[in-house]
Every structure is written in C-alpha cells, then in structure tokens.
Amino acid sequence: MKRFLSLPLIIGYGLIHVHLAFGQTTTTAISPPFSGEFNVRAFGALGDGKTLDSPAINRAIDAAAGAGGGTVHLPSGTYLSLSLRLKSNIRLHLDQGAVLLAAPRTEEQRYDAAEEGPSTKFQDYGHSHWQNSLIWGDGLQNVTIDGAGEIYGKGLERDDNDKKDGEGNKAISLKFCRNVNISDITIRHGGWFAILATGVDNLTINNLKIDTNRDGMDIDCCRNVRVSNCSVNSPGDDGICLKSSYGLNEARATENVTITNCFVSGYDEGTMLDGTYRWSPQRSPTGRIKFGTESNGGFKNITISNCVFDKCRGLALETVDGGLLEDVSINNLTMRDIVNAPIFLRLGRRMRGPEGTPVGELRRVNISNVVIYNATAQSGVLIAGVPDHAIKDVSLSNIQIWFKGGGTKEQAAITPPEKENDYPEPDRLGTMPSYGFYLRHVKGVTLENVRLHTLKNDERPPFVLDDVDGAEFYRVTTDRTPGTPIFAIKNSANLTLRMVDGTEDKQQKALFQGNF
C-alpha cells in the first residue's frame, strides 16, 4: 500500500499540488482562487511618490479587464502618475493613505494626447477633449472610482492657455459611459475640472471632498444623475455645475438629476481640506451650484435639495444657447456671505450653437424654503429674460434674505443693460435699481411668504418689475427707507398683491407703470 504526502505550493498566482509517493513525484496545476482584486504593487507600482507608477497601474487595469473585470487596488502610498486608462467593469479603489499624484508634464513624461474630435467652435477646449486627463474613460460601462484615498492633481494645468502636447488638465474625465459610481474619495487641486462627465448615463457621485483650483464637477449632457453628500470648495470657478454643451457634436440635454445634501464654498484653495477655512475678502470667489453656461441641449427634470452655500456666488440657472431649461424644483437651501446674485435665473441669446437654432425657454421652476444672510448689495435676486422671450412660470416661496444694503437713490434710477448676447453673469449687468428682486421679461411669477431685510439702510425699492405679465405677491414683508416705494413697475400687467406689508391688496390687470 502506497502512502502519499500532499503539499500545496503557491507560486505567483498559481497553486501546484505536489504528491510524494515513495520517491515518486507528480504535479498537477490547478486554477488559482480568483479574488477579483489586482493589487498594483504586484504589477510593479512602488508608491514611493518618486517613481512613475502609471505604467504599472495601467498593467493592473488591463489585467483586470482581461479577467472580465475586478478591483484595481491602490494600497497606502503615493503613486506618481500620468494618464490612467479605465476599462469597463473596473473598480479603481484607493485605500486610506493612498494618494494618486498627478506628475508634472516634462519632455519625457507626457499625459495622453487630446484626441481628435469635435471643434471648439461652440464650447471651450476643456469641454471638447477627455483623454488628456489623469484618469479617463471613453465608451465604458460599469465603472467605479472609490475609497478613502486622495487624488492630488498637482501636475495638472488649469486651462488651455499656452497648451503643450502632453499636458493633462482634468483629474477624472469620462465620455459616453454608463453605470458609473464615484464615491468617498478626496480630490485636491483637480485642474480645469476635478470631474468632467460628458454623455454619461446612470451616474452616481457620493460623499466626495473636492478642494480645487477650478470647477469641482461638470456634469455635461448626462442622464439619470445622483449627486449627494459632497463638499466642494472651488474659489476660482463653479462648484457643482450642470452643462449641456455641443461637445458631443449634438444638442443633448442634461436630465433626470438630483443634487442633495451638498456644500459649496469659495474659501481660499486648500483651506477646506486643512480645516482653516480662510477667505480673502478682496476676491470674488465662485464656488456655486450652476446650470450653464454651455446650454445647447438644455436641462430637464432636476431637483436640488438640502444644500449649503458659504462665501461664494449663489444659485444660477442659465440657458443662453438655445436649450430648454424646464421642470426644476429647488428646496431647503441656506447661503451666507454671497458675493453676487444669490438667485439668478437668466434666459439669453448668446447662441453659441449651429446657425438657425432658436432662442431657448426657461420655464416651470419652483424655489422654496431658502434662507440667505449677508448677500451682496449690488445684484439682489435677478430673474431676467430677453425682449420677446420671457421666463415663464416661476414660483418662489418661504424665502428669507438679509442683504448688505447701502444702495442710493441714484442707483434706484438705473436701467440695467439687456446684454442679451453676452456671457450670462450677474455682475456684467451692473448694479440693480432694486435691493431685493429685479424681474424683467417674465411671464407668470409668484412670490409667497417672502421676507426681505437690509443690514444697512437702502434707498432702492425692494422690487423692480419691467415687462412682467402675471405676477402675484402674497404675504410679503420688506425693509425700506421712509419715502422709498416698495414697487417700481414698468410696462407690466396682471399684477396681484395680497397681504403685502405697506400696501393695500390690489389687482392691476391693465398695463401699468409707476411706483407705490
């Protein structure tokens, strides 16, 4: 009777059983147990912050894709990197203590070249190229980037001025992807865009901390998007920005989007992450939530809720390139130290798009339960269409705003320029003749339970209406300097006032202009 001794030996990723029987040896190779994890260290990454690790990380991504998918794991360490090329069915996971560090561009070290693609006739270079990024994917499905680690875009550029071959200018860039999840990571100094998602459907962005030098996240021509529990500090540009550019060579809407439980701010860069929250008052930071400026395809079926703004610009809804902006619900916002219009709705005709595109529409917007403190004296709330193209069906309710105040009688006499073909930014329209709400080219607007306050006396009226058809004010209270009217109205009709402090209830159906 023979007696056998069986010993397992692990060699690389394979397992060999060695059978010994009275000096007789046989070997049988069997398939290794598959964990679905591809540790980048096993593919040559050192994580020492000095050695270029992107070739090793890309080998791990290729191996995972070749196996049908899996987790590419970056354990604790600093991984100096150029472009990483994502594949379908890949999870890129950064452990706590792992830093993916964008390498500087040199003659020897270059990011992937910007691909040949659409022209930049209707949008800037950053919205028209994706591969010149630290992490990029095109035409993928089932992609995850997550973990408690950090992406530090130290070597990324912030724009295309003097651009050179091999420069990278985005931390994460995705085009025409499906089923994407970006969760839990930190992005520091992310370049032109910390995240650019274009034509991505079923996109989840959750629990990110972004402290960056330009845009936090741009969600462009995407459908079915969930953004939640994110903190975005972006003093030099927009925080959370929805766009619908012509970067895909078609007008594609951004639609079915929720943004909830998020924080946007304009502190000095880096000071949100280090906890100092410094702010340079002489600057005019951005840091806001915005729809536009690129707005060829429009924005549809969107909700924003439970968000906080601090030391930045306010909420901006803009369609100026022919798209429809419609069916938007915004609820439960607080804002402090807002440096331009705390609420800005703008329908314009910049028309950066194919010739013959008609002016768009901005309609069916509800904004409720908003508290704003220390908003700029210059702009107030701005809701402005253009001649013959009114903003329609806007409802604002349960709004409390404390403005800086200090406006003068001379400012109350200003008629702001239309600037209908310009870039849509509140400060380009100059100082408003009202301290509270300026409404122009609007059809159907309701203000209910609105309270306006000034921290300094202001000699401008709280409300100025110009070419407004159908406005209802119900339970409205305002601070005002004695002798200053509550309303200054031009060329407007179908006005209803009920329980407006300081005035009698009235209905004015005929065309009207005057002060009261």
Burial 301-326 (b: 16+ CB within 10 A, else e): bbebbebebbbbbbbbbbbbbbbbbb
> Helix, strand, coil proportions of the chain in percent (round to 5)?
5, 50, 45
Checking if the pLDDT of 211 tops 60, the result is yes
Residue 26 in any domain: the answer is no
Residue 127 in any domain: the answer is yes
Residues 351 and 421 in one domain: yes
User: CA separation (Å) from 510 to 470, 492, 507?
Assistant: 11, 8, 9
Q: Which of the residue ranges 69-78, 106-115, 430-439 would you say has the lowest mean pLDDT? A: 106-115
Range of the domain at 447: 322-516
Q: Which of 266, 285, 313 is the last residue of a domain?
A: 313
Residues 287 and 385 in one domain: no
Number of domains, the chain: 2
Checking if the pLDDT of 497 tops 80, the result is yes
Cα distance between residue 80 and residue 82, in whole Å: 7
Cβ contact 231:216 at 8 Å: no
pLDDT value at position 349? 97
In eight-state DSSP terms, residue 389 is: B
Checking if the pLDDT of 443 tops 70, the result is yes
Residues 309 and 326 in one domain: no
Checking if the pLDDT of 54 tops 60, the result is yes
β-strands 463-478, 437-454: how paired? parallel
Residues 267 and 341 in one domain: no
Whose CA is closest to 180, among 143, 145, 207, 147?
143
**pLDDT tens sequence across 145-200:** 999 999 999 999 987 655 668 899 999 999 999 999 999 999 999 999 999 999 99
pLDDT value at position 34? 53
Q: How confident is the model at residue 283 (pLDDT cuts 50, 70, 90)?
A: confident
Residues 295 and 340 in one domain: no
- Which residue is associated with the tokens 């408690």? 148
Cβ contact 428:377 at 8 Å: no
The neighbouring-strand residues paired with 217 are 195, 240
pLDDT value at position 4? 39
pLDDT value at position 30? 39
Residues 366 and 245 in one domain: no
Cβ contact 227:258 at 8 Å: yes
Residues 306 and 373 in one domain: no
Cβ contact 376:404 at 8 Å: yes
Q: Which of the residue ranges 128-132, 139-143, 258-262 would you say has the lowest mean pLDDT? A: 128-132
User: CA separation (Å) from 427 to 5, 83, 282, 399?
Assistant: 83, 38, 15, 23
**What's the token pair of residue 512?**
């009207």
Residues 190 and 89 in one domain: yes
Q: How confident is the model at residue 212 (pLDDT cuts 50, 70, 90)?
A: very high
Cβ contact 111:168 at 8 Å: yes
Residue 155 in any domain: the answer is yes
**pLDDT tens sequence across 66-104:** 999 999 999 999 999 999 999 999 999 999 999 999 999
Percent of the chain whose pLDDT exceeds 90: 86
β-strands 70-74, 37-39: how paired? parallel
Q: Which of the residue ranges 223-232, 280-289, 446-455, 479-488 would you say has the lowest mean pLDDT? A: 280-289
**pLDDT tens sequence across 333-387:** 999 999 999 999 999 999 999 999 999 999 999 999 999 999 999 999 999 999 9
Percent of the chain whose pLDDT exceeds 70: 92
Average pLDDT value for residue range 416-439? 97
Residue 298 in any domain: the answer is yes
Residue 229 in any domain: the answer is yes
Residues 235 and 344 in one domain: no
Cα distance between residue 39 and residue 60, in whole Å: 7
Residue 76 in any domain: the answer is yes
Cα distance between residue 185 and residue 145, in whole Å: 8
Q: Which of 313, 337, 352 is the last residue of a domain?
A: 313
Checking if the pLDDT of 274 tops 60, the result is yes
- CA dihedral for 424, 116, 188, 177, sign (positive or negative): positive
Q: How confident is the model at residue 117 (pLDDT cuts 50, 70, 90)?
A: confident
Domain harbouring 91, CATH code: 2.160.20.10
**pLDDT tens sequence across 18-47:** 333 434 444 443 344 456 899 999 999 999
Residues 302 and 365 in one domain: no
Residues 265 and 204 in one domain: yes
Residue 275 in any domain: the answer is yes
Residue 17 in any domain: the answer is no
Cα distance between residue 421 and residue 350, in whole Å: 4
Q: Which of the residue ranges 14-28, 39-53, 470-484, 496-510 would you say has the lowest mean pLDDT? A: 14-28
Q: Which of 291, 313, 335 is the last residue of a domain?
A: 313
Of 22 and 51, the structure prediction assigns the larger pLDDT to: 51
pLDDT value at position 9? 36
- CA dihedral for 391, 395, 401, 406, sign (positive or negative): positive
In the predicted model, what is the mean pLDDT of the chain?
92
Average pLDDT value for residue range 266-295? 95
pLDDT value at position 163? 63
Cα distance between residue 458 and residue 456, in whole Å: 6
Cα distance between residue 78 and residue 80, in whole Å: 6
**pLDDT tens sequence across 336-350:** 999 999 999 999 999
Cβ contact 488:412 at 8 Å: yes
Checking if the pLDDT of 256 tops 80, the result is yes
Residues 301 and 390 in one domain: no
Checking if the pLDDT of 446 tops 80, the result is yes
Cβ contact 321:351 at 8 Å: yes
pLDDT value at position 281? 80
In eight-state DSSP terms, residue 419 is: -
pLDDT value at position 311? 97
